[in-house]
Every structure is written in C-alpha cells, then in structure tokens.
Amino acid sequence: MNRLPVAERREQLIEAALTVASRDGIDAATVRAVAAQAGVSLGVVHYCFQDKAELMRAMAHAITGQNAASGLTDLPEDADAGTVIEVVLGGLWEGISAHRGAQLLSYELTTSSLRHGDLAQVAKEQYTGSWAAAEQALELIERTAGITWALPRTELARVVVALVDGYTLAWLVDGDDAAAREGLHGFGGYLASLTRPAPAAVPVHPAAPADVPAPGAALDPAAVTAADA
C-alpha cells in the first residue's frame, strides 16, 4: 500500500465513502466497506477519521463544496444583475444535475443524522455550510454586477438554499430537468427584483495644508503684507 500524507489519504477515503454511499445508500457506507472500496486496511480509516460521524461530516462537506464551486467562475463582466444571477443559478444546477447520486446522498445524510442523536451535528454542519456558500455567491453577484440586495445577505442565503433544496428534491423524485430549470429561472427573476444599484463611491480629496489657502478662499491682507515685508 502506498504511503500518502494524511490529507491525501482522507480525500481518498472520502471519495471512496461517497462512491459506496451513492451506489448502495448511506447505511452501506460502513467503515469496512469504505476501506474495501479504497483498498486500505480498517486501521487506515480509523487513523484518518475518529469515527463514522466524522467521516459522514467530511462527506457532507465534500458535497456542499462540490455544489458551491459550480457556477462561480467565468462570470460575465459588465453584465446586468439578471444576467449574472442566471449564470450563477445555471452553473449551480449543472453541478447538481450532473451528480444525482451525490444529491440523493446529501438528503440521506441529513435525515439519517437527524434520526441519530450522536450524528445530529452532521445535518447542522450541512446547512451551516450551505448557507455560508449561498451568502458567498450573493456577495460575488454584488461585486460582479455592481448591486446591493434589498434584504440582508444572511436572510436571502436561507431563501436561496431552501428553494434550491426544494427543486433538487422534486427533480430527484420526478426527474424533470426542464421543470427544475424553469423554476430556477423564475427564481432568478425574483432575485433580480431584490437588487438595487450599488451607491456610487464618494471621492475623497486630500486636505489642503494649513498654510496654503484653499482655491477661491479669501486672502488675509495682513498675512500678505507680512509675507511681502
């Protein structure tokens, strides 16, 4: 067995766990099954992860990160807010629809962790990560399109996650990709309605030195006389 740095080994085991769980379900992703999928001993898994809960958290973070990374590159410059929002939502959906097994697994992780008190933190971290990723995307849209939001980003991030979650779950049920895209398109229009032009930056002029009159200021005759003496 090749010796890998712990960080690389963890990534390998997370990928193996995602493969097993996406294919056979979350209950099938035992430590033994993950070790077999990765071609390592049980001891290696236990060395890299304290317990199954830690491995599940790592799996959830990997899925959230995979979704968050989609649609946030190559954004159009000098485009209006509606166009930028459409690009972000379109890229997000491309990432989701390309990994059906991972999306199903994400919901399995949530419900499974909520049923087991010792794993409850997994679901909390899933949504904390999703809200943070949505907030980052909203901030990026602000900077790219030169806008501000009519609602606080933290509040709007929860709306984004809730709606994308809903369309993703419906798509997992009915497989209607067109309906999901159309729904997200409508949601993009709603988000665009919540944008406002960013306030223009106020130019800051350096203060004039105390002994140099500002342009147009009245001169003190006494000071002029003293200077000419």
pLDDT at 200: 75
Match 């980003």 to its residue by tokens.
Answer: 153
* Torsion angle (degrees, nearest 10) of CA 114, 57, 71, 168: -30
pLDDT at 101: 84
Per domain, the residue ranges of the chain are 1-49, 63-197
In CATH, which of 3.30.450, 1.10.260, 1.10.10, 1.10.287 is domain 1-49?
1.10.10
Of the candidates 151, 6, 108, 126, the residue with the CA atom closest to the CA atom of residue 66:
126
Predicted confidence pLDDT, tens digits, the chain (229 residues): 567 788 899 999 999 999 998 888 888 888 999 999 999 999 999 999 988 888 888 888 888 777 665 556 677 888 899 999 999 999 889 888 988 888 888 898 888 888 887 778 888 888 998 899 899 999 999 999 999 999 999 999 999 999 999 999 999 999 999 999 999 999 999 999 999 999 876 666 666 555 545 554 444 544 444 444 4
pTM of the model: 0.75
The residues that bridge with 148 in the sheet, in sequence order, are 196
Q: What is the pLDDT of residue 109?
A: 87
Give the number of other CB atoms < 10 A from CB of residue 140. 15
Q: Check residue 139 and give its pLDDT.
A: 94
pLDDT of residue 223: 47
